[in-house]
Chains A and B, each alone.
Chain A
Amino acid sequence: MEADPRAQERALVARAQAGDLEAFEALYRANRGRVYALCYRMAGEATLAEELAQDVFVRAWQRLGSFRGESAFSSWLHPLTVNVALSERRSRRRRTSRVMTTDDPSAYERPVVPKTGPEASVDLDRALSTLPAGARAVFVLHDVEGYKHEEIAKMTGVATGTSKAQLHRARRLLREALDR
């Protein structure tokens, strides 16, 4: 009987690596909240976030062979999620821009509200979705997820200085949107 959650997780991963879809579903259920949170904040809206989250798990299944069990599964999923979210930005640029300025009152109306968290954080998540995509990505990666500017620069392909500028812009816009 596996009492240790990490050992349980490793067992699930080993089964999933051997092709066991049920085991992978268990991993999906345990990790989808975290993955979706990141996708939702990076994407700025629910429909796209749902697509991204699916992409993440499909990619995770395909790359499962490279997970060696040296960290928690969620830690391995994390950069993969960031990658999917960022790639998506690059490849869907041709679609209509979802950039909303803070002048747009409808910016605060969103069909899907995050289900957890106090009032204040609902406001913040809402306000986040109004940011321009680049600034939003940097804010999420730096202030929500805790990455450093050097790491963000590497992941997004911009210079460290640009990352800092985007963060500055994001914070300013958010404070304006939240009226603080």
Chain B
Amino acid sequence: MSSKTVLSLAVAALMGLAARSAAAQQRVEARRSASAEALVEIENPAGSVRVIGWDRGEVTVTGELGVGASGLDFTGSGKRVRVGVDTERNPHGVSSSLEIHVPARARLQIESFAGSITVSDVSGTVSAETVNGSINITGKAHEISAESVNGSVDVAGASTHTKAESVNGSVTVQGASGDLEASTVNGRLEVTGGTFEHAHMETVSGSVSFEGGLASGANLEAETVSGSVTIALPATVAADFSISTFSGSVENAFGPPATRMGAHTPEKELEFSTGDGGASVSVNTLSGSITLRKK
């Protein structure tokens, strides 16, 4: 082979490599100004989204777009900013990793399909949804809604309105208070937090574990089919308890044992009050065991 041919082959190879790199990823870096409480909508069909709150009036996007992406879709400014990934083919195959800084008090709406979502240091509101991916939210957002189908959902903040749901994945909520809706089908559901006005927890086969307090007149509901339920409340809680299970066992540290509904059924029911009552605790399972214990 002549040296010229080698050279052109080498160049061709390099160009080929470069072309493949260009196809493999596009680095992106862009910024737009945004108001302090801007609505920031983010959509990344696959890959990962990392959102970090900061004290600048700006939304910046850095990261790498995946193969098949035709560009970053970054529009808006001021009160409303949108970040998305344009694709020329089935978006599920386009895996991009995006890191986005937003004003700390922004209102976030994040959607993905096959991507994970992480949010930190945002004190506005966060709504994050994905199908195949985990969600991890930390920071002081007061309203959080995190929903996945195949992925764990972890919320560790100080939210007063929280919704955390998955289907095939664990759900953990820490530091929440006020209103809570948490559910999963298969994974375990764990809530530790402050004082709740309303806490509703549901699984099908995952275990439910709750440790927290109840405001006066609050209500706590936990329901599973076969998952076990453990509720830990302060020893001084004043609540009306309504517990039932079709075939599970019941352990109650607050007083009376459950009574069988009849000789011919395993069904057990337990109704009692502690203190002067007021708050209400209701637990219902098909076969999951129920444990009430003192914090």
Contact = CB atoms under 8 A, between A and B. Distances in A.
Interface of A: 55, 58-59, 62-63, 83, 86-87, 90-91, 154, 157
B14 to A, nearest CB: 66
Interface string B250-282: 000000000101000000010111001100100
Contacts of A157: 259, 269, 271
Contacts of B280: 59, 62-63
A155 B143 CA distance: 40
B78 interface: no
Given A59-B240, A87-B271, 10 more contacts: A58-B217, A59-B280, A63-B219, A83-B271, A87-B277, A91-B272, A91-B276, A157-B259, A157-B269, A157-B271
A154 B277 contact: no
Contacts of B240: 59, 87
A92 to B, nearest CB: 9
A86 B272 CA distance: 10
Interface residues of B, number: 12
Nearest to A62: B219
Contacts of B269: 154, 157
A91 to B, nearest CB: 4
Contacts of A59: 240, 280
Nearest to B241: A87
- Tell me the interface secondary structure of chain A in the complex: helix
Contacts of A55: 277
Contacts of A86: 271
A90 B261 contact: no
Interface of B: 217, 219, 240, 259, 261, 269, 271-273, 276-277, 280
Nearest to B275: A91
Contacts of B272: 87, 90-91
Contacts of A87: 240, 271-273, 277
Contact of A62 (B217, B259, B261, B273): B217
A58 to B, nearest CB: 7
Contacts of A62: 217, 219, 280
A121 B249 CA distance: 46
Nearest to A86: B271
Contacts of B259: 157
Contact of B273 (A58, A63, A91, A154): A91
8 contacts: A59-B240, A59-B280, A62-B217, A62-B219, A87-B272, A87-B273, A154-B269, A157-B271
Contacts of A154: 261, 269
Please provide the 4 A-B residue pairs with the shortest distance between their CB atoms, ordered closest to farther.
A91-B273, A157-B259, A62-B219, A87-B273
B236 to A, nearest CB: 15
Nearest to A83: B271
Contact of A90 (B217, B219, B273, B276): B273
A62 B272 CA distance: 18
A59 B217 CA distance: 9
A65 to B, nearest CB: 9
A91 B276 CA distance: 8
Contacts of B261: 154
Nearest to B258: A157
A91 B273 CA distance: 6
Contacts of B277: 55, 87, 91
A63 B277 CA distance: 15
